[in-house]
């Protein structure tokens, strides 16, 4: 799913934020990246989302080199990756339900599909009863669960949680780690960065990459050797980790996972449907969205920086049918705490 091959990232004349790192993460794998503050964890995340471009080396995501993703299609690439940040980055003016629905609304998913999906996601993160609350009314753990549900909303191939427990107490941190293993057990590739030993302990047995001063001191894969003769090629497997990481299935047996039926289908986000603004209870969301669209686009894209790739194109309109059933559970949106 992810291959970093001899990737270096430098900012100006500073010491490299990442230096010649190579690793591989399989589809449906859960990997934990640890390292002290400043060791390069977030830089890996931003390279994956193409907010940063590597100074050297190549990154392959889902079999495609990121260098081949043109600036005009970066938005499409980013839709395959859901990111949950340490500071949650929820929109204060939207309630829990609306925060999770936001990305789906932006890509014009039909309202019945949005309602079905948000219902399932809030069930997954156990926040159904808080759907009408606003971010300021949530605990840190609840806010992070909303951020994770939002990251999952468009059915990404990869979920990244960047220091998801940085602001949380030990028990809440453990519950977030458990939630992420559960999401992984349902088939999504998961990448977690942390400097929290509690999380690492909780995720013992999963793939572990350790950074120190921008260098990968644990979990590195062998870079390809251009000088290697063909008969030696069996020793050189740039796309394989040297460490047998647990797959979602094998790691799952170590932990007790719940078996809730969450909808983790891969939403084909490049096949957008016609906006459906029919009277389904989400009309106020659509209205808010038109006001918040520019703000939310910034929020979803994360930090901007000098290497950021512009993402000017709207989602591609596809031919996906709008034949969606109305079997969706209606959200229990009865009272609004704030209009």
Residue 185 touches ligand ADP, criterion: CB under 6 A:
no
Site residues for ligand ADP, window 295-314 (CB under 6 A)? 305
223 contacts ligand ADP (rule: CB under 6 A): no
Q: From the list 2, 25, 26, 35, which residue makes contact with ligand ADP (rule: CB under 6 A)?
A: 35
17 binds ligand ADP (CB under 6 A): yes
Q: Which conformational region is residue 324 in: left (phi greater than 0), alpha (psi within -120 to 50 degrees), or beta? A: beta
| Beta carbon of residue 210, minimum distance to Mg ion (angstroms, whole number) | 15
**49 lines the binding site for Mg ion (CB under 5 A):** no
Q: By CB under 6 A, is residue 164 in contact with ligand ADP?
A: no
Residue number, 34 or 99, with CB nearest to ligand ADP: 34
Q: What is d(CA 164, CA 253) in angstroms, rounded to the nearest whole number? A: 24
Considering the complex, what minimum distance in angstroms separates the CB of residue 38 from ligand ADP? 4
| Sheet with 189-194, side-by-side order of all strands | 81-85, 158-162, 189-194, 30-34, 207-212, 215-218
Closest-CA residue to 94 (of 131, 141, 120): 131
277 binds ligand ADP (CB under 6 A): no
Is the CB of 8 or the CB of 108 nearer to ligand ADP? 8
Work out whether 39 is an interface residue with Mg ion (CB under 5 A).
no
Q: Kindly give the residue spans of alpha helices, DSSP state H, lying in the chain.
A: 41-48, 74-78, 96-106, 111-124, 140-152, 170-185, 197-202, 248-252, 283-301
- The first and second tokens of residue 112, run together, are 């019945």
Residue whose CB is less far from Mg ion, 41 or 117: 41
Stretch that binds Mg ion, among 42-50, 126-134, 142-150, 283-291 (CB under 5 A): 42-50
Nearest to 212 by CA among 19, 11, 10, 4: 19
Distance CA 238, CA 227 (A): 14
Residue 278 site contact among ligand ADP, Mg ion, none (CB < 5 to 8 Å, cut-off depends on kind):
none
* Residue 50 engages ligand ADP in binding (rule: CB under 6 A): no
Position 173 contacts Mg ion (CB under 5 A)? no
23: three-class secondary structure by DSSP = strand
SS3 2: strand
Q: Does residue 42 interact with ligand ADP by CB under 6 A? A: yes
Specify the residue, 1 or 17, whose C-beta has the smaller distance to ligand ADP.
17
Q: Taking the CB of residue 292, how many other CB atoms lie within 10 A of it?
A: 18
Q: How far is the CB of 19 from Mg ion (least distance, A)?
A: 17
40 is a contact residue toward ligand ADP (CB under 6 A): yes
Which one of 42, 154, 173, 269 is in contact with Mg ion (CB under 5 A)? 42
Confirm if 23 and 221 have CB atoms less than 8 A apart: yes
Distances (CA, A) of 276 to 109, 312, 324: 7, 24, 11
Residue 41 found at the interface with ligand ADP (CB under 6 A): yes
Distance CA 209, CA 216 (A): 7
**Footprint on this chain of Mg ion (rule: CB under 5 A):** 41-42
Give contact residues for ligand ADP (rule: CB under 6 A): 11, 17, 35, 37-43, 305
């Amino acid at each position: 799913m992810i291959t970093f091959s001899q990737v270096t990232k430098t900012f100006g004349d500073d010491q490299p934020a990442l230096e010649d790192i190579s690793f591989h993460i399989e589809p449906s794998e859960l990997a934990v990246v640890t390292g002290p503050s400043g060791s390069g964890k977030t830089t890996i995340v931003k390279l994956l989302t193409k907010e940063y471009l590597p100074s050297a080396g190549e990154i392959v995501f889902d079999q495609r080199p990121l260098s081949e993703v043109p600036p005009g299609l970066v938005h499409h690439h980013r839709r395959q990756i859901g990111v949950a940040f340490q500071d949650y980055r929820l929109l204060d003016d939207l309630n829990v339900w609306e925060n999770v629905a936001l990305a789906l609304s932006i890509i014009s998913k039909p309202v019945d599909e949005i309602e079905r999906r948000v219902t399932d996601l809030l069930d997954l993160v156990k926040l159904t009863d808080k759907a009408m609350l606003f971010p300021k009314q949530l605990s840190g753990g609840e806010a992070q669960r909303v951020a994770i549900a939002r990251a999952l909303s468009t059915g990404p191939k990869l979920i990244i949680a960047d220091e998801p427990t940085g602001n949380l107490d030990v028990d809440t941190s453990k519950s977030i780690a458990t939630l992420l293993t559960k999401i992984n057990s349902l088939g999504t590739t998961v990448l977690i960065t942390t400097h929290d030993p509690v999380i690492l302990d909780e995720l013992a047995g999963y793939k572990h990459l350790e950074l120190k001063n921008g260098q990968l001191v644990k979990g590195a894969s062998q870079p390809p050797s251009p000088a290697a003769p063909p008969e030696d090629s069996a020793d050189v497997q740039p796309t394989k980790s040297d460490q047998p990481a647990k797959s979602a299935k094998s790691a799952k047996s170590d932990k007790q996972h719940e078996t809730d039926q969450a909808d983790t289908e891969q939403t084909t986000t490049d096949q957008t449907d016609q906006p459906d603004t029919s009277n389904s209870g989400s009309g106020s969301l659509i209205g808010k969205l038109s006001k918040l669209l520019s703000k939310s686009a910034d929020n979803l894209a994360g930090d901007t920086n000098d290497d950021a790739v512009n993402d000017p194109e709207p989602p591609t309109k596809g031919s996906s049918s709008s034949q969606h059933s109305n079997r969706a559970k209606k959200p229990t949106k009865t009272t609004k705490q704030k209009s």
